[in-house]
Structure 1
Amino acid sequence: MTIREPAAIAVALVLACAGCAAPGRSVPEASRSGSGPSATAGTPAPGGGARPSLPAAPHGWTRDRIRAAVAEHPGTTRTAAPTVLNSLVGAVFTHSAGGDHFCTASVVDSAGLNLIVTAAHCVYDPHLGQRDDLVFVPGYRGGDTPNGVWPLLSVTVDQAWKDSGDPDVDVAFAVVAPQGGQQVQQVLGANLLGIDRGFRLPVKVTGYPSSGELPITCSNTTTEQSPTQLRVDCPDYTGGTSGSPWVTDFDPGTMTGTVVGVIGGYQEGGDTADTSYSSYFGERVQDLYDRATG
């Protein structure tokens, strides 16, 4: 989440090599902050130059590891490869599903049937501008793209994010291109957008850590970090999970719910892997959605 300076990257690598989850949600890139290298080392960066060869963070969840993580976080339910929400949640890559994965996004209901929601820092850098080389891969699992690859056509972020990276509007909506004559919501369905739902809500948070090939899901109750920020405690939400949707009112019949947050906001989502933040979805996010769908 927070863009790493070289010293911080070194600390993260030490943690990863020690078998600990390095902090951060979006993976930094050598040539562009807010995005970055996947487990594939040394590939060319879109802006030129080579990506640093970073060792992959620990990945794979054994039963013992899941039990240990849940024991450390009472009230939290954690699954390593969820069967729910996956079709609406996907990894964000550069160029194609074979590119660099650095964030997560999900389908949200819209009149155009073509909208996804993620964190603003995933798609727009206040210093470098908008990324124009991104694709959304819903349901991505181990290299498979069962629900297609959907290029991002346009991105809507708040002017306060563009100007100064305001953490209270670290939210972005993006229109994705149709595939096979159909829009993404026609194919997959969509979650609703929840505005002013309060600070204490049961949510499912699904995201794609860059260190692995499968999504992870955590269930817990949100709390108030500040009047403009939500917080949730979920274990091991490391690089790649920025933009992960926080879904409440989940209906197992329709496999949909209401998105009330995305990993981002304070510290661009959090400086530790076990606590995540989101900009509060209030009037400013409603205005942003209206612009994206207007």
Structure 2
Amino acid sequence: MTLVRLVAVLVLGAAVAFTATASVAGVGRDGAAAPAPSAPPVPETVRPSPAASAPALDRPATAVVTSSPATTPSQPSPSTTMLGSSAVPTGPARPGSARAQVADPATRLAVGALFSGGEHYCSASVVDSPHGNLVLTAAHCVHEGAGGGAYSDVTFEPGYHDGIAPFGAWTVSQVFVAPGWESASDPDLDFAFLTVRQDGNPATLQSLTGANRLGIDRGDPDPVTLTGYPDSTDLPVTCQDTATRYSANQLQISCPGFPQGTSGSPWVLDADPATDLGTVIGVIGGFESGGDDDVSYSSSFDSDVETLYRAAITG
């Protein structure tokens, strides 16, 4: 073998050995180390899918409204989520510094917890109405959506704390949701009004707790107060920050500390420092069934909410 052929053989052998070593070591096509396989994505935590005059609303009702008696033999489940059919919003989440803190239930009597099967699973609040018996929450808390019906065996306990219901339990007698929620679980329509009663009590709920006014098309940004009941505690939490526009039909707020159980929590504008009553412009719900522990969403309160409210007070 000539010296030239010997050199060629040695060079070829070295190249083969290098290729085999590169394949075992996981070297990428460009010579850099290939990235290790990524871990599977962690599923997002979502929330469960369960005497004053009426506000002056200055626009007529324009949409068909569905009224459902709360008699469907089904109950809300903390693991149920209702994702709707409308386009997914694409706006960025707004960073914020506010965080949820334990609230004083003595000054938030109009906010309470929804119960079913002896456990609280969502939040709700009293809204001003002529009959004083109207409660506002997220639609996915009280109605299956997408062709389903209203949950049964649901009660509202305003001012609930430490296992105590200072005004007792109020039975949900009728559930009002928008047609688009009932037919398609539309997240832009994730709000509901409930009529409630307490047998043997001649007083109205609103006369005992006070009520928030209903705000329609209030615009944005707005500084609001959120109050709700996490599943893991018997005390309400609250947070103040600015609500901003997330999409054409959704609002968002950055208030970490509102986990499962806080769906339906009211977004209150211009809250009175003594009573925390003001104008409710949203509830935790909507996109991603209300968001996650860091960012909360709400369907915009527009003419659809107004129409539903009118149906509920005359229903």
TM-score in terms of structure 1 length: 0.75
Give ranges in structure 1 of 5+ residues lacking alignment. Answer: 1-10, 13-21, 38-72
Aligned-partner SS, 1:288: helix
- Mapped to 2, the partners of 1:135 and 1:172 lie a distance apart of 14
Equivalent residue for 2:47?
A: 25
Q: Indicate whether 1:262 and 2:283 are aligned.
A: yes
The letter for the 1-side match of 2:104 is: P
Equivalent residue for 1:79?
A: 101
Matches within 5 A, 1:59-70: none
Matches within 5 A, 1:1-294: 23-26=45-48, 34-36=76-78, 74-76=96-98, 78-83=100-105, 85-95=107-117, 99-126=118-145, 127-178=147-198, 180-270=201-291, 272-294=292-314
Contact 1:231/1:277 (<8 A) preserved: yes
Report deviation, 1:36. 3.0
Contact 1:33/1:125 (<8 A) preserved: no
Pick which of 124-133 and 206-215 moved more.
124-133
**Which of these two proteins has the greater Rg computed from alpha carbons?**
2
Contact 2:257/2:294 (<8 A) preserved: yes
Report deviation, 1:23. 2.1
**Cα 1:159/1:85, change in 2 over 3 Å:** farther
- Mapped to 2, the partners of 1:167 and 1:23 lie a distance apart of 17
Q: Deviations over 1:19-53 (max 9, x none)?
A: xxx8222269xx9685338xxxxxxxxxxxxxxxx
- Mapped to 2, the partners of 1:208 and 1:77 lie a distance apart of 14
**Cα 1:193/1:85, change in 2 over 3 Å:** farther
Contact 1:152/1:176 (<8 A) preserved: yes
Percentage identity across aligned positions? 45
**Cα 1:84/1:74, change in 2 over 3 Å:** farther
Aligned length: 236
The letter for the 1-side match of 2:140 is: H
Contact 2:224/2:269 (<8 A) preserved: yes
Q: CA RMSD in A?
A: 2.4
Contact 2:250/2:298 (<8 A) preserved: yes
Contact 2:103/2:227 (<8 A) preserved: no
Report deviation, 1:193. 0.4
- Mapped to 1, the partners of 2:76 and 2:250 lie a distance apart of 20
Report deviation, 1:254. 4.3
- Mapped to 1, the partners of 2:307 and 2:130 lie a distance apart of 15
- Mapped to 2, the partners of 1:150 and 1:33 lie a distance apart of 17
The letter for the 1-side match of 2:139 is: A
- Mapped to 1, the partners of 2:271 and 2:265 lie a distance apart of 15
- Mapped to 1, the partners of 2:46 and 2:75 lie a distance apart of 13
**Cα 1:162/1:27, change in 2 over 3 Å:** closer
Report deviation, 1:230. 0.3
The letter for the 2-side match of 1:103 is: C
The letter for the 2-side match of 1:135 is: T
- Mapped to 2, the partners of 1:137 and 1:83 lie a distance apart of 12
**Cα 1:233/1:84, change in 2 over 3 Å:** farther
Give ranges in structure 2 of 5+ residues lacking alignment. Answer: 1-41, 51-72, 80-94
Contact 1:85/1:206 (<8 A) preserved: no
The letter for the 2-side match of 1:185 is: Q
- Mapped to 1, the partners of 2:281 and 2:293 lie a distance apart of 20
**Cα 1:74/1:266, change in 2 over 3 Å:** closer
Contact 1:231/1:276 (<8 A) preserved: yes
